[in-house]
A = this chain, B = another copy of it.
Amino acid sequence: MTAGFSFRVSAVDGQARTGQIETPRGSVPTPAFMPVGTRAAVKAVDPQEVRQSGAAMLLGNTYHLMLRPGEALIERAGGLAAFMGWHGPTLTDSGGYQVFSLGERVAISDDGAAFSSHIDGTREVLTPERAIAIQGALGSDIAMVLDECPPGTADRDTVVRAMSRTTLWAARQVGLPRPRGQALFGIVQGGVHTDLRLDHLGALRPLGFDGLALGGLSVGEPVSEMHRVVAEVAPEMPADTPRYLMGVGTPSDLLCAIENGIDMFDCVLPTRNARNGQAFVHKGRINIKQAKYAEDKRPLEPGCSCPCCTRFERQYLRHLFTVGEMLVSRLLTLHNLYHYGSLMAGARRAIADGCFTDFKKHWFDPLDPSE
């Protein structure tokens, strides 16, 4: 375990667990949801607002940051957290996922991935070694290994090859120098094949990572498959280090994953959907542009204590969305981040109290047809 980094489980309830990650930049109570600060900003909100929503740790995207403003500038600024005015821990991904999804003319080999920047076509190379070096410059509290993440529709052979390469890369990365206190997590691949997932878990376990993630989920496979894999694999992951489900998901996904022992999440859903006019509420989701909200004087979620619901009515939010005022992106993002923050805080409390199953069952009110 990296010095300065630790994880302690304080209570379990079935497979679900609650605890605390300690990093050099602060504590993160788990289960934890990390809002995504792609380009050193959680879109539409400021770091103080993100903190107030209950988030303790942010995710930054290595791919975006290496291109703009470049990791060297961020290193000279004192690291990602200092650069963006976030007073807390950060986790950086390895850049691999975005190279495969956003990069152009991607050529992958055991050496690494060559690609052209989606911004200006500049040819770049991301090797396992460079992914660690960039994350070192970004100065995150948790770095992720570079992995190969095949699409959800990939056949079993492709998944096996990606797994092998991910293991090879993981072994090359685990011993590389990192800044003091920066933890390193490995990533378990294997698609929707539980036997492959467990094989890969077995291959990574001896490498002594500070935590392990499930990667390559929520990448196009059916939701039920994702839930099945999490249920079958998460409980087999080491119990004494954090378990991180990458890029997931909806409130319902989070509840299922927590139930199976996942400790950490990141996802763009609460922020991206907000900008598209969608708010998460206990009854499901609200699409604020709908005409039925034109004179609706209720807050998005009656009883919600977020800075949107305590100050603004649906009719006003709909007007802002209709005319294209950017204020609505911020207000819906705030609501969604508070909704996720409240979900995670409630889950932690429920696990500590031994009533997570009940909490999960009652999170979603029955759908109200008036919505």
Interface residues of A (CB under 8 A from B): 39-41, 43-48, 64, 68-69, 73, 76-77, 83-85, 294-295, 297, 311-313, 315-316, 319-320, 322-323, 325-327, 329-331
Q: Is the CB of B77 within 8 A of A297?
A: yes
A84 partner residues in chain B, CB cutoff 8 A: 316
Q: Contacts A48-B311, A311-B85, A330-B46 given: A316-B73 contact, CB under 8 Å? A: no
A46, B306: Cα distance in complex, Å: 14
Q: List 10 A-B contacts (CB under 8 A).
A: A39-B319, A39-B325, A41-B325, A43-B326, A68-B319, A73-B295, A73-B315, A73-B319, A77-B295, A85-B316
A319, B85: Cα distance in complex, Å: 13
Q: Is the CB of B315 within 8 A of A39?
A: no
A73 partner residues in chain B, CB cutoff 8 A: 294-295, 315, 319
A68, B324: Cα distance in complex, Å: 11
Q: Which of B40, B68, B316, B330 contacts A316 (CB 8 A)?
A: B40
Q: Is the CB of A327 within 8 A of B76?
A: no
Which of A64, A69, A85, A331 is packed against the most chain B CB atoms within 10 Å?
A69
Q: Which of B69, B294, B297, B329 contacts A319 (CB 8 A)?
A: B69
Q: Which of B68, B315, B326 contacts A77 (CB 8 A)?
A: B315
A116, B76: Cα distance in complex, Å: 54
Residue of B nearest to A83 (CB): B316
- Within the complex, what minimum Cβ distance (angstroms) separates A116 from chain B? 18
A312, B85: Cα distance in complex, Å: 6
A329 partner residues in chain B, CB cutoff 8 A: 326
Q: Which of B45, B313, B316, B320 contacts A327 (CB 8 A)?
A: B45
A47, B47: Cα distance in complex, Å: 19
A59, B154: Cα distance in complex, Å: 57
- Within the complex, what minimum Cβ distance (angstroms) separates A349 from chain B? 30
- Within the complex, what minimum Cβ distance (angstroms) separates A327 from chain B? 5
A315, B312: Cα distance in complex, Å: 33
Residue of B nearest to A334 (CB): B46
A327, B320: Cα distance in complex, Å: 17
Residue of B nearest to A328 (CB): B41
- Within the complex, what minimum Cβ distance (angstroms) separates A11 from chain B? 36
A295, B73: Cα distance in complex, Å: 7
A330 partner residues in chain B, CB cutoff 8 A: 46, 326, 330
A323 partner residues in chain B, CB cutoff 8 A: 39, 64, 68
A320, B84: Cα distance in complex, Å: 10
Q: Contacts A77-B315, A295-B73, A315-B77 given: A322-B44 contact, CB under 8 Å? A: no
Q: Is the CB of A69 within 8 A of B322?
A: yes
A76, B315: Cα distance in complex, Å: 11
A331 partner residues in chain B, CB cutoff 8 A: 46
Residue of B nearest to A64 (CB): B323
A47 partner residues in chain B, CB cutoff 8 A: 311
A320 partner residues in chain B, CB cutoff 8 A: 40-41
Q: Is the CB of A322 within 8 A of B68?
A: yes
Q: Is the CB of B85 within 8 A of A325?
A: no
A316, B311: Cα distance in complex, Å: 30
A85 partner residues in chain B, CB cutoff 8 A: 311-312, 316
A64, B325: Cα distance in complex, Å: 13
